[in-house]
Amino acid sequence: MKPRFIFFGTPKFAVFVLDELERKNLKPLLVVTAPDKPAGRGLRAAPSPVKKRAESHGIPVFQPPTLKTAEAAERIAKEHADVFVVAAYGKMIPADILELPTHKTLNIHPSLLPRWRGADPIRAAILAGDTETGVSIMQLDEKLDHGPIVAQKSVPIGEKTYEELEGELARLGGEMIADILPRWLAGKIESREQNHDQATFTKKITKEDGHLDWNEPAEMIERKIRALNPWPGTYAFWKRGEKMLRLRILEARTVSASGKPGTVIPVNDGFAVACANGAIRIKTIQLEGKKATPSAEFARGYPDIIGTILS
Backbone angles phi and psi of 221, in degrees to 5: -65, -40
Q: How far is CA 265 from each of CA 129, 185, 243, 286, 287, rounded to the nearest angstrom?
A: 26, 60, 21, 17, 18
- Alpha carbon dihedral 223, 245, 259, 253, in 10-degree steps, equals 30
Determine the residue type at 92. Answer: M
pLDDT of residue 68: 95
Q: How far is CA 222 from each of CA 160, 185, 204, 217, rounded to the nearest angstrom?
A: 11, 44, 20, 9
Tens digit of each residue's pLDDT (9 = 90 or more) over 110-149: 999 999 999 999 999 999 999 999 999 999 998 889 999 9
Instruction: Report yes or no: 137 and 173 within 8 Å, Cβ to Cβ.
Output: yes
Cα–Cα distance for residue pair 252/70, rounded to 1 Å? 50
- CA neighbor of 236 nearest in space, from 244, 228, 216: 244
Tens digit of each residue's pLDDT (9 = 90 or more) over 49-62: 999 999 999 999 99
What fold does the segment set 5-198 form as a domain? Rossmann fold (3.40.50)
pTM of the entire predicted model: 0.94
- The domain segmentation of the chain, as residue ranges, is 5-198, 207-305
pLDDT of residue 38: 77
CATH architecture of 207-305: Roll (3.10)
User: Which residues have CB under 8 Å from 58's CB, separation 6+?
Assistant: none
User: CATH topology of 5-198 equal to that of 207-305?
Assistant: no
